[in-house]
Amino acid sequence: MEKRNVVSVRSILDRCLRVVGFLRRLARSRSGLVGLLILGLWISIMLVTIFWTPHSTSDFHFASRLQPPSLKFPFGTDKFGRDVLSRVLAGCKEVILLALTGTLLAVSLGTLIGLTTGYFGKWYDEIVMRFMDIFMSFPGLLMALLVLAVLGPGWVNVIIVIGVVFSPRVARVARGAVLDIKNKEFLEAAKSRGENSFYIMGIEILPNILGPLGVEFSVRFAYSIFLSASLGFLGMGVQPPTPDWGLMVNEGRDFIKVAPWIAAFPALAIASLVISVNLLSDAIRQLAAGEI
Amino acid sequence: MLPYIFKRAVSIIISLLVASIIIFVIVQILPGDVAQMILGQYQTPETLHQLRESLGLYDPFYVRYVRWISGILKGDLGISLSITGCRIADLLLDRSRNSLLLAACASLFVIPISLLIGTIAGLKRDTWVDKMVSLTTMVAISLPEFASGIFFILIFSLTFKLLPAMSNIDTNVDLLRQFPMLILPILTLSLVILGYIARMTRASVIEVSSSNYVRTAVLMGLPTSNVIVKHILRNALLPSITVIAMNMGWLIGGIVVVESVFAFPGLGSLLLYGVMQRDVPLIQASVLFAAAAYMILNFVADLLYLFLNPRLRNP
């Protein structure tokens, strides 16, 4: 039977409708709805700030430093006179893209490891999994600081760190999922057809473990935001003057008595984003378990 | 049970060994070596060469590693580069005493309260109490430690002027008098853990409440308090211990951020300082120390779980 890869308008519409259907099912639970709304808000803000922000994120307004929130500067200004609102809105882009890329890296790496260890097994599985276990026995932030001490701060290194820190956990989940379906008949059929291992892993097994991987992805995404914000706070993440929420909270800490808005608004922003992602992961988990 | 404990202890030692190798390998990739850092602007090719010889930096990788490990086993963790001349062992012991105090107080505070909250929420499922608790715990686990720390400072130090914002305690002064300085860090450290443990306990209580043996106990006419304590709690609290163990590791990681927010002189801020200054011996020693602490805490939690769960006692 010939394979026809037809990308027609119809198939694209089909996929869009499937995504919309998925989102509608998520929205049926209260946590999913709130999570979607808040995350949707932040994503729209992110898209808008690529083109426009109320004020520039790096322009100094020396005449109006450390101003409380006003009509001109709704979130106030920081020690250089930069508009806090614009920086908070623009920082959303950094946070989401950083965490997303890091999570994608972690999930890809982890899935690769999990697939191969689950499928091949034997001594390869033993050794690699022991190694992963020991990696997991480091608290995440500790491992992140260790690697960043070597690589130095910066957003590329933070992405690498997120990938390294979270891939063992994803590998565990992926491996578990692979072992679950290892004895199913369609895999035996594929093997007796003479398909090679990569085909079996990539085309037969992978689509069937997307469920647990999806849940894991959303949970890791929340943790990645957490981790990258904490690293930013400690000064090991994105470097100034790029607006990063963690960094802004750190810079605002010195002025907390005279200008609490510099630290408070980024902190609220982080809180709202993580809450929304957590709510969404809850909803995705419920969806995967068939509760909604 | 004893062979299990022995096996676990051995596996921890092996893990620690592998962890030390990992730490050593990662840190040794650092560009620029220790000799350059020590000599700083006074370096010349000859002095660098001499210092490297005396420090043994020209030795192959495994020789340096074995030297480091044997030093640790003898109790010598090296000398810090950034805090010039200080023996790292002294620094670590001093700072970890403080961190241990913080961690112990946080654990003692958070574990009973979160278990209580989780149980009440689980027993009174779907009432407003439960919904409040679910909401609060969701917020609690979503706030990074520095965000909640800042919020606590804003509320308790600035608005209500109840507690100090900085916690740079002095170990030479009586600790009891400095206790107010510890309250905010403990609160911040506990918040995330409280969220996780409360949620886990609630889920576990709900699951156990719908099980057959609980239904039997209720139908048998046992008084509710009896059912709750002897049947529900005893079984529901077990998974919570695993969560508590997991969160102890979180404690060690989160303590770095909390110590940074409150300027608390502990292991976390020492590690951070080492990372900022790229002080190789300090980074190596403190990360290893922290990892060891985490593994030991997990081991203790494992033992506790074993002790409390009769099914595992005699495999």
Q: List pLDDT tens digits, range B180-220.
A: 778 888 888 888 888 888 888 888 888 888 888 888 888 88
Distance from CA of B195 to the nearest CA of A (A): 13
pLDDT on residue B262: 87
CB-neighbour burial class of residue A122 (10 A; exposed 0-12, middle 13-18, buried 19+): exposed
Contact, B195 vs B250, CB < 8 A? no
pLDDT for B93: 83
Report the pLDDT value the prediction gives residue B32, as an integer from 0 to 100: 60
Q: What is the pLDDT of residue B315?
A: 54
- Candidates A42, A133, A146: best to mutate against B (most CBs of B within 10 A) is A146
Q: What angle do CA B11, B16, B18 make, to 5 degrees?
A: 95
pLDDT higher than threshold 80 for residue B56: no
Pick from B138, B150, B271: which is nearest to A249 by CB?
B150
Q: Rounded to a whole number, what is the distance in Å from the CA of B233 to chain A's nearest CA?
A: 25
Top-confidence range, A12-26, A93-107, A111-125, A209-223: A93-107
Q: Which chain A residues have a beta carbon less than 8 Å from that of B26? A: 146-147, 150
Mean pLDDT to the nearest integer, B64-68: 81
Is 90 exceeded by the pLDDT of residue B5? no
From the centroid of its chain, how far is CA A233? Answer: 18
Find, in chain B, the residue whose alpha carbon is nearest to that of A143. B287
pLDDT exceeds cutoff 50 at B232: yes
* Amino acid A221: pLDDT: 92
Are B158 and A260 in contact (CB < 8 Å)? yes
Least confident window among A17-26, A168-177, A272-281: A17-26
Cβ-Cβ pairs closer than 8 A, A with B, add up to 122
Whether B92 contacts B267, CB under 8 Å: yes
The answer to whether B122 touches B204, Cβ cutoff 8 Å, is yes
- Closest CB to B142 among A134, A230, A275: A275
| Chain B residue numbers touching A168 (CB-CB < 8 A) | none
Contact A263/B at CB under 8 A: yes
Distance from the Cα of A18 to chain B's closest Cα (Å) equals 29
Q: What is the pLDDT of residue A2?
A: 46
Residues A30-81: pLDDT tens digits? Answer: 778 888 888 889 888 888 888 887 777 777 777 777 778 777 778 888 888 7
pLDDT at B40: 67
- For residue B82, what pLDDT band results from cuts at 50, 70 and 90? low
- Greatest mean pLDDT among A211-220, B31-40, B233-242 lies in A211-220
Structure tokens at B72: 């640790």
Look at residue A123 and give its three-state secondary structure.
helix
Q: What is the rounded average pLDDT of the residues B240-257?
A: 78
| Cα–Cα dist B267/B261, whole Å | 14
Among chain A residues, the shortest Cα distance to B22 is held by A135
Mean pLDDT confidence for A113-125: 86
Tens digit of each residue's pLDDT (9 = 90 or more) over B112-161: 898 888 888 888 888 888 888 888 888 888 888 888 888 888 888 877 77
Longest Cα separation, chain A: 77
Dihedral class, residue A76 (left if φ above 0, else alpha if ψ from -120 to 50, else beta): left
pLDDT of residue A150: 80
Q: Is A146 on the interface with B (CB under 8 A)?
A: yes
Distance CA B299, CA B307 (A): 12
**Cα atoms in the Cβ-side hemisphere of radius 13 Å centred on A19:** 5
The pLDDT value given to residue A106 = 94
d(CA A269, CA A273): 6
**The most confident of B48-52, B261-265, B297-301, by mean pLDDT:** B261-265
Residue B275 is nearest to which of A145, A271, A279, comparing CB atoms? Answer: A145
Residue A83: beta bridge partners?
A77
| Interval B171-185: pLDDT, tens | 666 666 677 778 888
pLDDT band of A133, cuts 50, 70, 90: confident
Closest chain A residue to B283, measured at CA? A146
Average pLDDT, chain B: 80
Q: Report the pLDDT value the prediction gives residue A1, as an integer from 0 to 100.
A: 45
Please, what sign has the CA dihedral across residues B103, B105, B106, B107?
positive
Q: What is the pTM of this model?
A: 0.83
Is the CATH code 3.30.350.10 the one for domain A60-288?
no
Q: Which amino acid is at B212?
A: N
Q: How far apart are the first and last CA of chain B?
A: 8
In chain A, what residues touch B298 (CB-CB under 8 Å)? 137
- Chain B residue whose CA is closest to A233: B146
Least CB–CB distance from A139: residue in B143, B146, B252: B252
Does the pLDDT at position B100 exceed 70? yes
Which pLDDT belongs to residue B34?
66
Residue type, B149: G
Chain A positions in Cβ-Cβ contact with residue B22 (cut-off 8 Å): 134-135
- Which of B63, B93, B61, B96 lies closest to B77, judged by CA? B93
d(CA B50, CA A254) in angstroms, rounded, equals: 44
Percent of chain A with pLDDT over 90: 10
d(CA B50, CA A175): 51
Angle at B39 (CA atoms; ends B46, B275), nearest 5 degrees: 135
